[in-house]
Structure 1
Amino acid sequence: MARLELTAGVLLSRSGSYDAVSNAMYAGTVLAIDEINQDPGAGVFIKPVAVDPGGQLAGYVDGARTLLQDHRLEHVVGCYTSSSRKEVLPLFEKADALLWYPSHYEGFETSENIVYSGAAPNQHIVPLTGYLLSHFGLRGWLAGSNYVWAWENNRILREALCASGGSILGERYFAMGDTDLEDLVHQIVADRPDYVFTTLIGRSGITFLKMLRAACDAAGIDQAREMPTASCSLSETELPLIGASAAGHLSSSVYFSTIDTPENDRFRRRWAARFGHLGHASADAETAYVAVHLLARAAARAGSVRFEAVRDAARGLQYDAPQGKITVDPENLHCWMCPRIGRSRADGTFDIVMDSPVAIRPDPYLTWVSDMGGARGPDLRVIR
């Protein structure tokens, strides 16, 4: 039986202020495409057309136009930031094309032109909020990059804290890539919150974690124990770049390289052999890898590479991913996934301190709760 030929766009930055993360996503995409193309039983052969937006919104728009209009592609794996996704979405709607979006995000969106292979807010920020409230206290500090990812995640945490009788001691936003953070760090150390929730991304986030640890050390504060940082984006990709300050940070994710499954063992071995120079496998790499496999399986299931046929075939599709079995929700095209919380280690990996024993249905609009302070969220188990 002849294999379907599917030409797919890859719209991921390999340069710019968050190049470490987006390069890991690109590597995960390449790994999956090679794996599929080397498997004669896959039913699909993927020919990639890659564009580097350089971490710039204009670059994403120009890249999407190149892929959708010049190459007339119907499927693109791409975008890391929510601002880039929102910027290109109208182009996908106009072209009747499907964006396979491989990143956790803040939610409050669904589209018939996007399959979301990263975590929805009830799969990362809600579990993290509950963990912080129950383990560390009611006094938080919020610092983020100035765009919708940070605004919405901070809003969710702020509402949960306030509804529980807590308070936000401070909240600041910075341009993406900004590393002039001395005043921010000095204010946080002076305020002594119970924890710091950071939605700073890329170089801003890496610089912040280094500076905060150094300032706490100078003030005699055990930052990891007394004023932990928590994030929904910190991953194995960035830990080597933080250096001596890498250990002791909390991260909420659906994937950590330390997950013990046969599928993850296989994924880690292939990752180490090909992209070990990028560090350990991360959630960003894994969800990009997952997006490509979902695309290939949906096309094979449809027996077609056309937009509507593949989208319909993706509904309810299941896949044994490195993170565990995931299912594409037939209603909102997000994935059922298992939330997890990890604590970073000096070796560039995470100890998993909490996880869900079952996959949680994606709820991008958080419709299951009207009061975040009363949210029960998914049942999680603490790992001792």
Structure 2
Amino acid sequence: MSRIRIPIGLMFSQTGSYGTVGQSMLNGALLACCEVNEDRKLGIELEPMIADPASRLSAYAPTAENMIDAGIRHVVGCYTSSSRKEVIPIFEKRDALLWYPTHYEGFESSENVVYTGAAPNHHLSPLIDFLFNHFGGRAFCVGSNYIWGWESNRTLREGIQARGGMVLAERYVAVGETEMDRVVESIFDLKPDFVFNALIGESSYAFFRAFRKACEERGIDQRTRFPVASCNLSEPELKEIGPDAMDGHFSSSVYFASIDTPESRAFVSAYDAGFPEGPAASAEAEAAFVAVKLLAQSLHDAGTTDLQQVKRAVSRQMIDAPQGRVSIDPETLHAFLTPRIGRSRKDGQFDIVAESNAPVRPDPYLIRSSAPLEARHGRPALRVVS
């Protein structure tokens, strides 16, 4: 049976300050392309055009333009929120569709974006509950100086304050900045119950190393006295942090490679076989994998690359992904996902310490999960994993 060849774009930074995460996302997308192309029942063959913006914000818009000029209507890509916001006007103007496969801060919805990564009610809301209930209400926030850091810290601050707690301080550093001494000293001065980390890439890795080293020099067990929690810490980044400081950190996500299900085991096995040099399988890789799978099924069902028909088709899809069942909310084009919280280990994996019993409807504007917090509806009911 003849198959229809369809070009798609894969736009991930494989180099630069967050190149490790970008490479894992590209790997996940390429794995899905291989599986789609081997599936004769779908009747399509994806032809990926790969581009590397090299973690430079200024490179994303021309990269997207080049792909669309080449006839590509569907692009899976971007990691940072700043890169996403840089290209959305282009996709809206040129009538193309961006498939955005990573967690983000929310408060956005575009008719030209399908969001397969976690919305804030999938990662921030459950993490706020977890931290407040387990460690206390005095938070210290540190983040990269752009929208992800600003909005993540704002959401955490509002959630902590609504529970009667407080944010003692917020500190921001430029993307790629690795000098963390002043941030670390501020933590020691203020003595919070926990640290919320919204740094990305090399800045985040440097912070974990510097904070652990400073604690050890003072005879402090950082894991218990100053627990650090993130919404963007994944397996490839633990290796970048290094063996001396990678363990004991909390991450709120929808996927960890340690999930023990047939779908997750198959994904990790195929990923490791396809990319033995790494980086390791992660939530970002899984979200990119899911994005390509949903795109392929939607292209098959629509029988065309036309955006309106593909968007109608994607709202009817449901796949058994590595993380569990995933579908797309037709109202927001965000995904139903399963929230989880993990604690990092010295072997570069996570122990899952809490998780939702079922996929949770996306709430990008925190409408259902914000008023008032003690009586809110729609947020995930996490169960503690023994």
Q: TM-score if structure 2 supplies the norm length?
A: 0.97
The amino acid of 1:379's aligned partner reads A
Distance 1:216 1:371, change over 3 A: farther
Equivalent residue, structure 2, for 1:118: 117
**What secondary structure, in the 3-state scheme, does the structure 1 residue paired with 2:40 have?**
coil
Using the TM superposition, give the Cα deviation of residue 375 of structure 1 relative to its aligned residue in structure 2, in angstroms. Answer: 6.0
| C-alpha distance in 2 between matches for 1:372 and 1:126 | 13
| C-alpha distance in 2 between matches for 1:223 and 1:192 | 12
Equivalent residue, structure 2, for 1:333: 333
- How high is the sequence identity, in percent, across the aligned residues? 50
Q: Report the more deviating stretch, 130-139 or 237-246.
A: 237-246
| C-alpha distance in 1 between matches for 2:23 and 2:257 | 17
User: RMSD across aligned C-alpha pairs, in angstroms?
Assistant: 1.2
**Unpaired segments of 5 or more residues in structure 1?**
none
The amino acid of 2:167's aligned partner reads I
**What secondary structure, in the 3-state scheme, does the structure 2 residue paired with 1:277 have?**
coil
| C-alpha distance in 2 between matches for 1:66 and 1:270 | 31
Using the TM superposition, give the Cα deviation of residue 34 of structure 1 relative to its aligned residue in structure 2, in angstroms. Answer: 1.2
**What secondary structure, in the 3-state scheme, does the structure 2 residue paired with 1:124 have?**
helix
| C-alpha distance in 1 between matches for 2:33 and 2:53 | 20
What is the count of residue pairs matched by the alignment? 383
Select the residue among 372, 381, 385 that pairs with 1:379: 381
| C-alpha distance in 1 between matches for 2:108 and 2:375 | 20
| C-alpha distance in 2 between matches for 1:7 and 1:337 | 28
**What secondary structure, in the 3-state scheme, does the structure 1 residue paired with 2:276 have?**
helix
| C-alpha distance in 2 between matches for 1:190 and 1:84 | 35
The amino acid of 2:113's aligned partner reads I
| C-alpha distance in 1 between matches for 2:163 and 2:60 | 40
C-alpha contact (below 8 Å) 2:363/2:369 kept by paired residues: no
| C-alpha distance in 2 between matches for 1:57 and 1:36 | 31
Equivalent residue, structure 2, for 1:210: 209
| C-alpha distance in 1 between matches for 2:25 and 2:279 | 13
Equivalent residue, structure 1, for 2:258: 258
Equivalent residue, structure 1, for 2:130: 131
Equivalent residue, structure 1, for 2:47: 47
Equivalent residue, structure 1, for 2:220: 221
C-alpha contact (below 8 Å) 2:4/2:43 kept by paired residues: yes
Using the TM superposition, give the Cα deviation of residue 179 of structure 1 relative to its aligned residue in structure 2, in angstroms. Answer: 0.5
Equivalent residue, structure 2, for 1:15: 15
Equivalent residue, structure 2, for 1:297: 297
**Unpaired segments of 5 or more residues in structure 2?**
none
The answer to whether residue 365 in structure 2 is matched with residue 365 in structure 1 is: yes
C-alpha contact (below 8 Å) 2:20/2:279 kept by paired residues: no
Q: Over residues 244-300 of structure 1, what are the superposed CA-to-partner deviations in whole Å (9 max), with x where a residue is unaligned?
A: 211000000000001111111111111111223224310011101111101000001
Q: Which runs of 4+ in 1 moved over 2 A?
A: 1-4, 369-377
Using the TM superposition, give the Cα deviation of residue 147 of structure 1 relative to its aligned residue in structure 2, in angstroms. Answer: 0.9
C-alpha contact (below 8 Å) 1:162/1:373 kept by paired residues: no
| C-alpha distance in 1 between matches for 2:300 and 2:288 | 19
| C-alpha distance in 1 between matches for 2:127 and 2:163 | 15
| C-alpha distance in 1 between matches for 2:68 and 2:339 | 34
C-alpha contact (below 8 Å) 2:116/2:334 kept by paired residues: yes
Q: TM-score if structure 1 supplies the norm length?
A: 0.97
Equivalent residue, structure 2, for 1:237: 236
